Structure 1
Amino acid sequence: MPVASDIAVELLPGTVDVAAGLEPAIEAAWVAAQVRARGRLFNGRVFSVTGLAAGRIAGRLVEYRLAVAAYADPVLAAALGVRPLAVCGVLRMPDGILFGRRQLGATYEAGLWQTPPAGSVDAGAVRDGQVDAVGQIRTELAEEIGLDWSRVDDCRAITLVQHAATGVHDLAFLLQTPARFAEVAACHAASGCAEYTELRAVPEPALGAFLCAEGDRMVPAAPLFLRAAGIG
């Protein structure tokens, strides 16, 4: 769905109740994800969407293990009613759009190409009852790519993509930078982040061919982000 470039994300009071009968399936999904991630997962709190409009997203914080369970099983996702919010960037460089291949141990869309940075909106983004979505994408850029925010000339929300099976809501931002791919790749190497096993700059005239060639090795939302940004 289209969104306002300065869309607000509001934190509602209260919690999300989980039926006791769902606990065994939730725990099984969490244990399996921990095995894939080699025990690196932390059960913090992430934002779950309860209401949507073009200029506003509303929701509550839920345990991360509920989101992981929703990723693993569409039936469980529907039963939980958890709709995790993620921020996703489209980093536009002078020599192309940045793509990264997710590591195989990722809890969601493992091994697929996506447009970094991206990550769940968590409790750290909450400021006085509001969620700082731009602050979250800034954090993800620093952690995943190592690129300083001073190298971003412009940042604006462009679309919200809803994943029917998992309930995930991707809020996409177009990030403009004067940094060329060589600088971005050097920042990524220096950061030591293993979120992506490979980075690639795809020139805008070659985007169509790249998306077609990668096919089911691309996260489904990426082409929608590019279309919303008017790229490709």
Structure 2
Amino acid sequence: MPGTRSSGLLALGGIALAAVLAVLGHLEVNDNLDPWSLTVSDFAVSDRGGVIDTAMAVLAAATVVLLPALRRAGTGRFAGALLVAWSGGLLAAALVPTNEPGLPMDTAAYVHRYASVVAFLALPVAGWLLAPRLGGRAAGWVRGLALTSLVLAAAMIWSAYPGDRELIGLVERLLILAEVALLAVVAGTLLRHPARRDHGVVAPNERRAPASTGCHNSMIGEVTPARGA
């Protein structure tokens, strides 16, 4: 399906652009910011409205581009709703800033935090639900990345509360890397193997039995005389 391939290509382009912008956002900030102990949001607030915020918005848009193609592949409503939650959480985090590092959290910072939590948890669960529709090696990659993301999300929650933010910046960046990779695998699979309604995305090495086999066997049974007749 040309539309499905176009969706995959546009989404991959958006993911790549978001990755480049995020890297640039880290290079342009104050040298006093420590990426191991400070989150991406801490970097973004130092350059409000800059490239990191733009990267989050671009990544949200890239996900939205995939939704029609995934719907044609027969993905369930719950998986689609989770992808919308991921996109909405990213967009909310981009629009509503957290507080400056070291300052007490205000209402905007709490909105930013919980929008990020929703996004980080929604995508791996959506990926796990999408995996059976992707087929082949893509399904295994998506499941592995989904589990990795959930483990890293749990580690980040531990660091944010009882862990006294120990290495929270490193854990969050690994989490983002795993989730962006998951999204890229989904987009790449749609680009290489078009979605088929009610059958998901079928890899070339997945062979289906001919539809007429059952009917053919039935006809053989009908015309073959019974033993002893």
Q: Same fold (TM over 0.5)?
A: no
| Structure with a larger share of its residues in helix | 2
TM-score norm. by structure 1 comes to: 0.25
| Structure with a larger share of its residues in strand | 1
Question: Which one scores higher on RCO, CA 8 angstroms, separation ≥ 6?
Answer: 2
